[in-house]
Amino acid sequence: MYISNDLDVYKQPLSPADAKALGPAGADAAAAFLETRSHHAETPLHRLKRLAMAHCVDEVYVKDEGRRLGLGSFKALGGAYAVVRLVMDQAERQLGRPVGLSDLAATEVRNIAAGMTVVCATDGNHGKSVALGARQMGARAVVLLHEGVSDARVQAIADLGARIVRVAGNYDDSVSEANRLADERGWVVVSDTSWPGYEYIPTLVMQGYTILLREALRQMPQAPTHVFVQAGVGGIAAAVAAYMLERYGNARPAVVVVEPQGAACLFESAQKGRAVKAVASAPTIMSMLECYEPSMIAWRILSRAADGFMTVADEEAAQAMNLLARPADGDVPVVAGESGAAGMAGFIQAVGDEGLRRRLGLDAGARILIINTEGATDPGRFRELVGLSPEAVRDGNRNAHAREEEHNE
């Protein structure tokens, strides 16, 4: 674990633009959009009391994004929101007047959307979100997927109406190809990662993620003292760090960023004190987190507002999936995918290490927030790693809820 107190760059305020976009006001703005979506429902927050007791902390909460907007991951909040905002921007430019939420269904706005093509590279979940946003507005979506993405994930994106382009190489190669195609054909790149000169759209994507934090904090009786959050390019981790800093100031929870051992670009950047590209190594089962270059905005925020950076091994992620799926009696079973369980894996590693417990203050007063960022988006893989189908775990979940309600009556 790399604890960031040691670096001078840390604990600086955010830039005013990041603070505005990702603080409570930005989250409220994004949440207003979500309420216009047809199948919108809050995701559950599970209180794992037995797990907390077993590890001598006060509370462990899991915000369960496994069913967000029917897409299976928190990413449903980001790309789709950015696409809707981009259509509104374009409509304002073309119509020469402000366009608000109530105009989204207007024929003149939909005609403008029909002339737009959005393109993105993805490991899976972001592409689904962009495809969903395009479908909602009647725009076209083209989604680029690298060769490591499973056919099941590709099909799920195609089912949302996007045109699929397969790209040789890894995620970073698909990002380059998306940019090339956009330049050539005048399409709009909707990326969840950012680079110099490309900030507006990924900021919108991250602003969409803050909705889940706004919800989680409303669902929790008391604010958390620690958040363990997994990272690919760092978008969700930075949204967490920025939102918490803007909402709670110096009383904010400690934010610990968790990455796979073989793809830890933020961990390496933290060690070096500047954004660095990690060397690509063997694939990880946490495929949604397999990114080798931090998002520029995410690093800018995390370098100021994260408290620790750590890595977890594939076995630890698989153990965390099992722990969530088969909890101690009394706790609710949770369906978490390989990447979804990484935050839990980070917590289990940290709380089991005496030195880290002390340095992070994981004591009897600690209230931990973990985000299950995805459910079993690849059900075959889930069965292989957990030995149960996602449905069997969900049945257990329903039974556990029923027992909990009986107990409360």
Instruction: Provide DSSP, 352-371.
Output: T-HHHHHHHT-STT-EEEEE
Q: Which is nearer to ligand PLP, 192 or 268 (CB)?
A: 192
Q: Is 287 in the site for ligand PLP (CB under 6 A)?
A: no
Residues in contact with 148: Cβ distance below 8 Å, sequence separation at least 6, in sequence order: 123, 170, 171, 283, 287, 290
Among 55, 126, 128, 153, binds ligand PLP (CB under 6 A): 126
Active site residues: 75, 123
Six-digit token string for 71? 């897409």
Among 59, 177, 293, 374, binds ligand PLP (CB under 6 A): 374
Name the one range near ligand PLP by CB under 6 A: 54-62, 87-95, 105-113, 119-127.
Answer: 119-127
Name the one range near ligand PLP by CB under 6 A: 24-32, 120-128, 139-147, 391-399.
Answer: 120-128
Alpha-carbon span 323 to 179, nearest angstrom: 40
Q: Is 260 in the site for ligand PLP (CB under 6 A)?
A: no
Site for ligand PLP in 227-256 (CB under 6 A): 230-237
Among 174, 191, 303, 339, binds ligand PLP (CB under 6 A): 339
Six-digit token string for 224? 């958390």
Q: Which is nearer to ligand PLP, 254 or 297 (CB)?
A: 297
Among 55, 68, 75, 128, binds ligand PLP (CB under 6 A): 75
Residues in contact with 250: Cβ distance below 8 Å, sequence separation at least 6, in sequence order: none
CB of 216 to ligand PLP, least distance (A): 15
Name the one range near ligand PLP by CB under 6 A: 110-118, 224-232, 246-254, 270-278.
Answer: 224-232
Q: Which is nearer to ligand PLP, 230 or 319 (CB)?
A: 230
Q: Are 393 and 85 in contact (CB under 8 A)?
A: no
Query: β-strand 2-3 against 308-312: which pairing, if any?
Result: antiparallel
Q: What residues are paired with 371 via a beta bridge?
A: 63
Q: Are 258 and 284 in contact (CB under 8 A)?
A: no
How many residues bind ligand PLP (CB under 6 A)? The answer is 21
Residue 167-206 contact track with ligand PLP, rule CB under 6 A, x = bound: -------------------------x--------------
CB of 377 to ligand PLP, least distance (A): 7
Our measurement of the distance from residue 21's CA atom to the centroid of its chain's CA atoms, rounded to an integer in Å, reads: 16
Q: Which is nearer to ligand PLP, 177 or 378 (CB)?
A: 378
Site for ligand PLP in 25-64 (CB under 6 A): none
Q: Is 381 in the site for ligand PLP (CB under 6 A)?
A: no
Q: Which is nearer to ligand PLP, 80 or 288 (CB)?
A: 288
Six-digit token string for 196? 């110099």
Q: Which is nearer to ligand PLP, 71 or 109 (CB)?
A: 71
Among 204, 241, 288, 336, binds ligand PLP (CB under 6 A): 288
Q: Which is nearer to ligand PLP, 88 or 238 (CB)?
A: 238
Q: Is 318 in the site for ligand PLP (CB under 6 A)?
A: no
Query: β-strand 308-312 against 254-260: which pairing, if any?
Result: parallel
Task: Give the C-alpha distances (Å, rounded to integers) separating 51 from 272, 290, 377.
Answer: 35, 28, 25
Q: Is 289 in the site for ligand PLP (CB under 6 A)?
A: yes
Which segments of 65-199 does DSSP mark as H helices, in order?
A: 79-95, 107-114, 125-137, 151-158, 171-185
Among candidates 308, 317, 301, 296, which has minimal Cα distance to 381?
A: 317
Among candidates 340, 179, 357, 245, which has minimal Cα distance to 11?
A: 245
Six-digit token string for 18? 């990041």
Collapsed DSSP state (helix, strand, coil) of residue 338: coil
Six-digit token string for 340? 């979804």
Contacts with ligand PLP by CB under 6 A lie at 73, 75, 123, 125-126, 192, 230-237, 288-289, 291, 339-340, 373-374
